[in-house]
Amino acid sequence: MDYRDTPEEAKFRLELREWFKHNIPANWRDITDGEGLRALAKSWHKALYADGYMGLNWPKEYGGQGLSPSFDAILNDEAGRAEAPRLPGMVNYLGRAIFTYGTEEQKLLFLPTLLSGEVQWCQGFSEPGAGSDLASLRTRADLQGDHYVVNGQKMWTSGALQADWCLLLARTDSGAAKHKGISCLLTPLDAPGITVNPIVLHSGEPETAEVFFDDVHIPVTQRIGEPGAGWRIAMTTVSYERGASDTGSISVLRRQLRELEQIAHQKGLLNDLNTRMKLARAHVDIEALSLNVAQQLSSRLAGRDPGPEGSVGKLLWSKAAQYTMHVALDVLGADALTGNAPRWLAEYFTSRPVSVYGGSSQIQKNILARMLDMPR
């Protein structure tokens, strides 16, 4: 057990710290409109990629840096410390599916542009009737010669409005058991027959979407994994989606807490015992999360894939994110509600779906009960 940086990690940390000093977009916090935020996310992604900070843990041949998972933890730490914008969150886990199950050809074709941000991806998993019970999804992909014909509807497809491609789950064998008849198709969103409608979230932003498929033709060569392997691919994807380090979420929490401490100082709240206790407790919850994630990353380093214990990290992440935003509402007070600090109201709402996406907190507990070998 040694939490110290190795010489390589220490060098990387120093370079990164210096890089953040010169590369964080000025006044990014003042951007609050949807269009501005999307442009920010895109340019931030490109800047990180240009200097080699995307895909740290990915092999070099697919555009990554070939570093150990601990470097992702350092990226999170330093981004938080530098109060940087959110790290691109979906790249790591969507790419992981292609990276783990794709053919060599698919990997070389799709991964480099996914990492660079040149091509934007989204995740077509949930449906109106298949949320927590994902395996009951009904979107069909019928094999006709050398292509699939897709019909159905996806929902909660985050980022679909900006995305070029979609990692799509569809039922290819309606006769098979529900977990076994699903396949995974790489789908271009500009294919004829696809309609994307925005879903406006409680924050007021159209962050997510519903996607309709009407006789959409997808070449068989764009299926990843074997027919019927879709469930396994989905589980790999969500196991990384649950990782607060993989999604850059620890950096967000560290940045939020630092900012709240400064705001509390500016508002003269540092003499208020209640505020002090809450800020300290947020620190404790964020440390519990990041040190639990550190253990999971170390065990990944030792060659173990993320398993059900990832659900522990997801629950800690939800708790830390939502508690920190309760502290934010207290520290900002009326300013968060009166339009004086709209970014914090938006950040509050952004913390709510953390306990829903990637498997709700209740689903995570079901998974842990199974891990504990409790009766079914």
Which two tokens mark 285?
A: 């919850």
The residue annotated as part of the active site, out of 241, 259, 287, 347, is 241
When the beta carbons of 163 and 316 are compared against other proteins, the nearer one is 316
Handedness of CA 100, 124, 110, 44 (dihedral sign): negative
User: How many other CB atoms are there within 10 angstroms of residue 262's CB atom?
Assistant: 12
Which two tokens mark 359?
A: 């498997």
Q: Does residue 217 bind other proteins (CB under 8 A)?
A: no
Pairing state of beta strands 140-144 and 147-154?
A: antiparallel
User: How many other CB atoms are there within 10 angstroms of residue 364's CB atom?
Assistant: 22
DSSP 317-372: HHHHHHHHHHHHHHHHGGGGTTTSSHHHHHHHHHHGGGGTTTS-HHHHHHHHHHHT
Q: Which residues are bridge partners to 167 per DSSP?
A: 123, 186
- In the list 15, 309, 330, 335, the residue contacting other proteins (rule: CB under 8 A) is 309
When the beta carbons of 74 and 111 are compared against other proteins, the nearer one is 74
Q: Does residue 167 bind other proteins (CB under 8 A)?
A: no
- The H-assigned helical ranges of 82-220 are 90-101, 104-116
φ, ψ of residue 262 in degrees (nearest 5): -70, -40
φ, ψ of residue 223 in degrees (nearest 5): -80, 135
Site residues for other proteins, 282-301, by CB under 8 A, read: 283-284, 287-289, 291-292, 294-295, 297-299, 301
Active site residue 78: no
- Least separation, in Å, of the C-beta of 68 and other proteins? 9
When the beta carbons of 217 and 304 are compared against other proteins, the nearer one is 304
- Least separation, in Å, of the C-beta of 110 and other proteins? 31
Q: Among 93-101, 140-148, 272-280, 324-332, which window interacts with other proteins (CB under 8 A)? A: 272-280
- Least separation, in Å, of the C-beta of 349 and other proteins? 25
When the beta carbons of 2 and 30 are compared against other proteins, the nearer one is 2
Site residues for other proteins, 30-69, by CB under 8 A, read: none
- In the list 9, 83, 173, 330, the residue contacting other proteins (rule: CB under 8 A) is 9
Confirm if 97 and 237 have CB atoms less than 8 A apart: yes
Buried b or exposed e, range 108-138, using 16+ CB within 10 angstroms = ebbbbebbbbeebbbbbbbbeebbeebbebe
- In the list 37, 279, 331, 332, the residue contacting other proteins (rule: CB under 8 A) is 279
CA 13/CA 19 separation, integer angstroms: 10
- In the list 214, 265, 305, 337, the residue contacting other proteins (rule: CB under 8 A) is 265
Q: Among 31-39, 112-120, 183-191, 278-286, which window interacts with other proteins (CB under 8 A)? A: 278-286
Q: Does residue 273 bind other proteins (CB under 8 A)?
A: yes
- Least separation, in Å, of the C-beta of 196 and other proteins? 36
Q: Does residue 151 bind other proteins (CB under 8 A)?
A: no
Confirm if 153 and 216 have CB atoms less than 8 A apart: no
Q: Does residue 366 bind other proteins (CB under 8 A)?
A: yes
Which residues are part of the catalytic machinery? 241
Residues that bind other proteins (CB under 8 A): 1-6, 9, 70, 73, 261, 264-265, 270-271, 273, 276-277, 279-281, 283-284, 287-289, 291-292, 294-295, 297-299, 301-302, 309, 311-312, 315-316, 362, 364-366, 368-369, 371-376
